[in-house]
């Protein structure tokens, strides 16, 4: 991508309305623009990252055996009356009337709608287990929208719903989602810690939140230090196996959000405990027959008896994750994208556009990298060198290739690693070799 063709409206100053670093950087790097309180347009840079995060999540869901569907944002109030949540949900739900005076709502979550789809088509245990997921915008009229996309009113969620014949199978499905979450956050370059959680308005008997540690997080959390050291043994999960043991690895160590934390018997029992803050990026619930019973989503079981199906629901906050990744990966100059979700891998910076030699080497390199499908953003604008370098640090691509008159003279070009700040001076061939072996 040529920067002269890319819509990247960066801001020089820190926006006054932003309190936390991810919000500041997302505005400054031209990723989002507020349209109303807690409601944002996604500009190209933001959209690319949102898409990457979404795709990692989607692929892991598919791998785990879930089916992607797409339910609408607007739902009929009728099904919410059936489950009893139309009145319970309160002011967070945006209620709308159509021209015929019918009650609609902008979905804050989809348990009812997916249960309606299920009950229309599935009647027998033979068609189970089943997991349906979708990726769709939600609306919750939050009391205090804040921190940019972290607590918006309109936000993108991946929500999955499992259906099983009995409690034990339903827990198996819960465990599959549990491990899929560990996996997909890892694939985004994040370390998410699962914690016992309250079930809130979704309801149910078993629930975990997935939390990324960050000082700016809204949740206060208590965790066993050892959890920080459990590493990737969960990669390449076989979703066809019983995953209870894998799940136990994470749930046997203490981790709880402040709502669940029991301070009274704590200090002496868990000496490894640390109190810290985090961002909730996912939340899974097992609630059995809570919706299938009132909504009559029944199946015939193995002995031919009609029973309400057992369910769970599983949410990932995709738009919140864009902010969360930045909270976990930045410095005082800007964002430092993990390679897993970076919009491009390389940023070629031409320090003197218009100079024949600089232009020539930059274009040559850009074309060579594009040919080998390396992802590269080429700053071909004719701005000051200082402004270009500051912008490159702000938008935070993993590597910068900096080419100016001095480099041309020596035939050595700067390769800067955004994260470490280390700069190596390489010949053209060494550069090409580096980028090609470092895909």
Binding residues vs ligand ATP (CB under 6 A): 109, 140, 142, 151-152, 155, 157, 200, 280-283, 315, 317, 319-320
Length of the chain: 439
155: partner contacted, choices ligand ATP, Mg ion, none (Cβ within 5-8 A by kind): ligand ATP
Q: How far is CA 100 from CA 103, 111, 422, in A?
A: 9, 26, 64
- Count CA atoms within 13 Å of residue 155 on its CB side: 29
As a whole number of angstroms, the distance between CA 280 and CA 259 comes to 13
Closer by beta carbon to Mg ion, 219 or else 347: 219
Partner from Mg ion, ligand ATP, none binding residue 85, C-beta < 5-8 Å depending on class: none
Nearer to ligand ATP, 23 or 140 (CB): 140
What is the token pair recorded at 345? 């891998």
Q: What DSSP character marks residue 14?
A: P
Residue 87 C-beta: closest distance to ligand ATP, Å: 18
- Is the link from the previous residue into 129 a cis peptide, with omega within 30 of 0? yes
Q: Which is nearer to ligand ATP, 257 or 350 (CB)?
A: 257
CB 370 → ligand ATP: shortest distance, Å? 35
Q: Which residue's structure tokens are 């369910």?
A: 311
Cis peptide before 417 (omega within 30 of 0): no
Q: Please name the residue ranges forming H helices in 39-109.
A: 44-63, 77-83, 85-88
Element containing residue 406 per DSSP (H, E): helix 405-410
State the nearest-atom distance from the C-beta of 202 to Mg ion, in Å: 8
To Mg ion, the closest distance from the beta carbon of 283 in angstroms equals 3
Instruction: Supply the angle between the helices 44-63 and 167-187 in degrees, to the nearest 10.
Output: 140
The site for Mg ion (CB under 5 A) is made up of 283
Rounded to the nearest whole angstrom, what is the least distance from the CB of residue 349 to Mg ion in the complex?
41
Q: Can you name the residues that pair with 402 across neighbouring β-strands?
A: 349, 414
Closer by beta carbon to Mg ion, 23 or else 283: 283
- Strand 310-317 to 330-331 pairing: unpaired
Distance CA 360, CA 176 (A): 53
Task: Tell me the closest approach of the beta carbon of residue 281 to ligand ATP, in angstroms.
Answer: 5
Q: By Cβ distance, which residue is nearest to ligand ATP?
A: 317
Beta carbons of 158 and 255 less than 8 angstroms apart: no
Q: Which is nearer to ligand ATP, 258 or 383 (CB)?
A: 258
Q: Which is nearer to Mg ion, 116 or 154 (CB)?
A: 154
Minimum CB distance to ligand ATP, residue 394 (Å): 24
**152 binding partner (options Mg ion, ligand ATP, none; Cβ < 5 to 8 Å by kind):** ligand ATP
- Closest contact distance (angstroms) between CB of 197 and Mg ion is 7
Rank residues 186 and 283 by Cβ distance to Mg ion and give the closer one. 283
Give every CB contact of residue 21 below 8 A, 6+ residues apart in sequence.
216, 326, 327, 330
Q: 283 or 391, CB closer to Mg ion?
A: 283
Contact 118, 130 (CB under 8 A): yes
In terms of phi and psi (left: phi > 0; alpha: psi -120 to 50; beta: otherwise), the region of 30 is: left
């Amino acid at each position: 991508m040529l920067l002269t063709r890319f819509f990247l409206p960066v801001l020089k100053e820190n926006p006054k309305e932003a309190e936390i670093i991810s919000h500041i950087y997302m505005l400054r790097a031209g990723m989002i623009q507020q349209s109303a309180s807690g409601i944002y347009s996604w500009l190209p840079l933001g959209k690319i990252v949102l898409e990457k995060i979404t795709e990692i999540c989607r692929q892991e869901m598919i791998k785990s055996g879930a089916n992607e569907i797409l339910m609408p944002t607007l739902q009929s109030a009728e099904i919410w009356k059936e489950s009893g949540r139309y009145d319970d949900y309160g002011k967070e739900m945006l209620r709308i009337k159509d021209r015929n005076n019918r009650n609609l709502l902008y979905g804050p979550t989809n348990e009812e709608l997916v249960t309606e789809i299920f009950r229309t088509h599935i009647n027998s245990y033979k068609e189970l287990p089943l997991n349906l997921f979708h990726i769709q915008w939600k609306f919750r009229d939050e009391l205090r929208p804040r921190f940019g996309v972290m607590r918006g009113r309109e936000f993108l969620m991946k929500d999955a719903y499992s259906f099983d014949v009995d409690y034990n199978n339903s827990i198996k499905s819960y465990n599959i989602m549990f491990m899929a979450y560990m996996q997909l956050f890892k694939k985004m370059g994040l370390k998410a810690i699962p914690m016992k959680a309250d079930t809130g308005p979704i309801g149910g008997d078993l629930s975990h939140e997935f939390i990324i540690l960050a000082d700016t997080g809204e949740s206060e959390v208590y965790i066993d230090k050892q959890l920080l050291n459990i590493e990737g043994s969960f990669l390449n999960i076989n979703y066809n196996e019983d995953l209870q043991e894998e799940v136990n690895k994470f749930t046997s160590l203490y981790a709880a959000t402040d709502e669940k934390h029991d301070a009274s018997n704590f200090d002496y029992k868990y000496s490894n405990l640390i109190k810290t803050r985090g961002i909730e990026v996912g939340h899974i619930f097992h609630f059995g027959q809570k919706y299938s019973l009132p909504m009559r989503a029944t199946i015939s079981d193995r002995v031919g008896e009609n029973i309400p199906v057992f369910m769970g629901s599983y949410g990932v906050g995709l738009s919140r994750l864009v902010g969360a990744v930045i909270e976990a990966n930045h410095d005082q100059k800007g964002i430092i994208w993990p390679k897993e979700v970076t919009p491009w891998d390389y940023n070629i910076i031409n320090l003197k556009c218009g100079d024949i030699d600089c232009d020539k080497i930059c274009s040559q390199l850009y074309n060579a990298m594009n040919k080998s499908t390396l992802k590269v953003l080429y700053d071909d604008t004719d701005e000051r060198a200082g402004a270009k370098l500051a912008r490159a640090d702000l938008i935070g691509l993993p590597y910068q290739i900096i080419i100016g008159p001095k480099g041309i003279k020596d035939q050595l070009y700067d390769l800067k690693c955004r994260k470490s700040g280390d700069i190596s001076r390489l010949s053209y061939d060494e550069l090409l070799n580096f980028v090609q072996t470092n895909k």
